[in-house]
Chains A and B, each alone.
Chain A
Amino acid sequence: MNIIYFLMPLALLLGFSFAAAFVVSSWRGQFDDLETPAHRMLLDDENKSDSKKGTTT
């Protein structure tokens, strides 16, 4: 059962790191606009293929 004294802090650490990642990304504005990215991902990224038109695969 002693393994639990290792696993518990590990689980909490994991949980906290995700929470921290969420806090940081919130502060950086990742969740400010929740609508547009859903549309934006439907579009192929053409910024690179613009120069060499027609090479999209």
Chain B
Amino acid sequence: MDQALDLESACEHCGTHFIHATSQRFCCAGCEFVFGLIQSEGLARYYQIREANPPLCPLPAQSSSSNYDYCDDPEFIKKLSPDGLKIRFFLEGLNCTACLWLLEKLPDFCKDAASARVDMATSTIEIRRQPQASFAAIARTLNRFGYRPHPLRESEASAHLQLRERRQDLIRIGVAGALTGNIMILAVSLYGGATGHLADQFRWLSGLLALPILTYCAWPFYRSTLASLRSLQLNLDVPIVIAIFAGIATSLWSLAYNSGDVYFDSLSMLVFLLLSSRFILKGIQARQLRSTNLEDEILLGTVQRICANGKLEKISSLAVLKNDVIQIDTEGFIPVDGIVSSGTGLISNAVMTGESQPVPIAAGLKIEAGSRNLQGKWNLTVTHPPGETRLAKILRDTERSAQSKSQFIHFSDHISNWFISIVLISAAALVLFLGSDVQEGISRALALVIVTCPCVFGIAIPLSMSFAIRAAARKGIIVKNSDAIERLWNVKTLFFDKTGTLTKGEMSVLKMEATDESSLGIALALEKNENHPVARALVKYLQSQNVEALAVQNVIPFLGGGVCGERDGAFYCLKPVTSQVQEIQPSIIRSNYGLFRDQTLLALFELSDEPRDEALHLLSWARQENYATKMISGDRKSVVETCGQKLGFSADDIYSEITPENKAIELRNCSQLSAMVGDGANDAAALAAAHVGIAICGSLDVSLRAADVYLARPNLNAIIELFGIAKLTRSAIYRNLFFSASFNAVSGTLAACGLMTPLWAAVLMPVSSLTVVMSSAWTGKKLFSAKEG
């Protein structure tokens, strides 16, 4: 604050602190508008409620200029709402009690709404409209108050199924809890030493009470064990079910012969606590992994649809239907597949084809979702709405492969299998060892089987991995599988490609010297069909100079950015030349290319490429974290060195004039495990050879064939975030492994020595598995709440 007039105060609407010259009450016009709106609707209590229930919720004030007319489209309503009266919206900016109050007052000030019900756990509102009223008007009202609504296209069937399952689970827990409580009352008297007639009756009664628990409530365990046996893969439920069956058999035997212990109390407790901990696990998964898929994370936005009457309307990209015509006039990703119907413009297909040269728009051109509009105004007839595009398919495949098991998970599955087998064998051995005392042997074996649990392998590690992949996707980092996250842990050296990775990759011609006009025509003909930044820059420049391409035969590109060809029997070659021009601006990295006829220089082109703004930040971070940083490029030595010096690479760490093939060899020869950051198409070999390949440009599907990670937004800072996510995930997994190993060692020994009853085992095991799940979830929460990059 250098001016005396400046005042700082909190905005009366959103609470943001802002600095202003004259006394103002609001930080922006948006807040002022919403404040006025709330006052005029007689809703001023909103502010009282907000003050009374901190923390203050940062209310979004800027209502977007979206048009919601599509909400009244009968087709659209039919898709979202079976009875045509009810729609669920996902609301941005719904955070606090005051929001809840305001939104549920909706029917009071919006005559179209009949009722509104908020669900804060999912940030959704379910709105029932008045018959014949307009959903669009309701959506507009929500939007005016600063809550941006997104109609939810959740399929009614799956939502219903989920709800059913949740209720089933709850009922199982409730029934198990109630019956276990009663069984425990009976068990207390048995433990207390009840004998005689009453004790027998208590045993029978506890068996009777346990019957629904061991059949109805424990059914999910039986089902999963059956599935596991069918696929010959031991899962976590197998030892549990074996323990339950062994316990039932022993108890029934005791009942029948009227001697020995019954274990109905322990078994019921086990089932009840396990059901509860699984329920909590499901809740955690649903809360953080809900609804969004990778496609939505990247492409969700608004598009302009042309209505039947020729008018334009802004709609959510989710609402686009097949055969809709949408107009594209802003820069950004296109969320649908379609065919251009009219208009002119330029698009970049980099994400889909890896071709970064813009393509001009022409009627009939097929456009794929994931293409980026650069300029122009054109109309597109939709052939595949979001969710059905090729991009969506690729992303779904990626998601599926992300769920497939990584080496580490395979390894831990392996351990988990061994673990279960060893526990079962030692339990059997225990019974044999204590052969004379069958009762004691069975009791110890039961305690051992129940208390030891490989849940860290079966539940906690996969959970941590899926959190990591989702958190990365939210930041525009597509990780192919959890394997990649593991491999990031061991990386010691970071290799960077130069052109397009550390630099912007957009070459431009600074200067041109030519002996005659025809040599320029030959240069254009040579480079016309090349896909190399230099070639593109040259072609663009020459075409802007109105140079006509001349006929050249036998055009052959060679690695390292050169092209040669023949014309009238003479051999022409366009290739890099050593610098003759003095470096005037050191911030610009220059390359010189010359056109040669045999050995004579005909034309000289001077090109430049600047480093990305965030490159230095990334590199200083990497060096601070003790990663070795190396730059590897196919470009000429002088160019690479200038760039390398500017970015702080030491001379040993700069590899220049390396062909793509040799890059891969260089990476394999690196003594330390390395990550390669480079172009998904041109550096594919190197990306595949690296321990972890990170593709920064190039097309998504091609890149993911070679690389493990794809950065959908070409920003190098994403790499820092990626490493951060991997590191947090590793610490969560190690923490859980350590806890689980100590727990199992201690409790297993106690059980085997007869110091732990099956009842204690039944209490401790679910508690330990809940502990590792909570620990994973805690880290997951940290990952998701990390600042958006």
Query: Which residues of A approach B to under 8 Å, CB–CB?
Result: 1, 4, 8, 11-12, 15-16, 18-19, 22-23, 26-27, 29, 31-36, 39-40, 42-43, 50
Contacts and interface: CB of A to CB of B under 8 A. Distances in A.
Contacts of B166: 32
A53 B205 CA distance: 60
B179 A36 contact: no
Contacts of A11: 182, 185
Contacts of A23: 171, 174-175
Contacts of B119: 33, 35-36
Interface in B192-231: 198, 205, 209
A28 to B, nearest CB: 9
Nearest to B181: A15
Contact of A29 (B101, B104, B163, B174): B163
B167 interface: yes
Interface in B76-114: 96-97, 100-101, 104, 108
B208 to A, nearest CB: 10
Interface of B: 49, 53, 96-97, 100-101, 104, 108, 118-121, 163, 166-167, 170-171, 174-175, 178-179, 181-182, 185, 198, 205, 209
A1 B199 CA distance: 13
Contact of A4 (B118, B163, B198): B198
Contacts of A16: 178
Nearest to A16: B178
Given A4-B198, A18-B178, A19-B178, A32 B100 contact: no
A15 B170 contact: no
Contacts of A34: 121
B159 to A, nearest CB: 11
A26 B167 contact: yes
Given A19-B179, A23-B175, A32 B163 contact: yes
A36 B174 contact: no
Nearest to B117: A36
Contacts of B163: 29, 32
A35 to B, nearest CB: 4
B120 A12 contact: no
Given A22-B174, A23-B174, A23-B175, A42 B97 contact: yes
Contacts of A31: 167, 170
Most chain B CB neighbours (cut-off 10 Å) among A16, A19, A23, A40:
A19
A48 to B, nearest CB: 13
B192 to A, nearest CB: 14
Contacts of B121: 33-36
Nearest to B99: A39
Contacts of A12: 182, 209
Contact of A36 (B53, B100, B170, B181): B100
A21 to B, nearest CB: 9
Q: State the majority secondary structure of interface residues on B.
A: helix
Which 6 residue pairs are nearest across A and B when measured between Cβ atoms? A19-B178, A35-B121, A22-B174, A39-B97, A36-B120, A26-B170
Nearest to B45: A46
A32 B171 CA distance: 12
A35 B118 CA distance: 10
A29 B100 contact: no
Contacts of B108: 50
Pick from B121, B166, B178, B179 the residue with the most CB of A within 10 Å: B178
B182 A26 contact: no
A23 B170 CA distance: 8
Given A16-B178, A50-B108, A26 B53 contact: no
Nearest to B119: A33
Contacts of B174: 19, 22-23, 26
A35 B97 contact: no
Contact of A22 (B53, B120, B178, B185): B178
Nearest to B164: A27
Of B104, B121, B174, B205, which is in contact with the most chain A CB atoms at under 10 Å from its CB?
B174
Contacts of B120: 33, 35-36, 39
16 contacts: A15-B178, A15-B179, A22-B174, A22-B178, A23-B171, A23-B175, A26-B167, A26-B170, A32-B163, A33-B121, A35-B121, A39-B53, A39-B100, A42-B53, A43-B49, A43-B100
B198 A36 contact: no
A34 B108 CA distance: 25
A29 B167 contact: yes
Contacts of B49: 42-43
Nearest to B197: A1
A15 B182 contact: yes
A23 B402 CA distance: 38
Given A19-B178, A39-B53, 7 more contacts: A15-B178, A26-B170, A33-B119, A36-B121, A40-B104, A42-B53, A43-B49
A50 B515 CA distance: 88
A56 to B, nearest CB: 10
Contacts of A39: 53, 96-97, 100, 120
Contacts of A32: 163, 166-167
Nearest to B42: A53
Given A35-B119, A50-B108, A40 B178 contact: no
Contacts of A42: 49, 53, 97
A4 B118 CA distance: 49
A26 B97 contact: no
A29 to B, nearest CB: 7
Q: Which of A15, A26, A35, A50 has the most CB of B within 10 A?
A: A26
A36 B182 contact: no
Contact of B175 (A19, A33, A43, A50): A19
A45 B65 CA distance: 34
B160 to A, nearest CB: 11
B302 to A, nearest CB: 28
A4 B201 CA distance: 12
Contacts of B100: 36, 39-40, 43
Contacts of B175: 19, 23
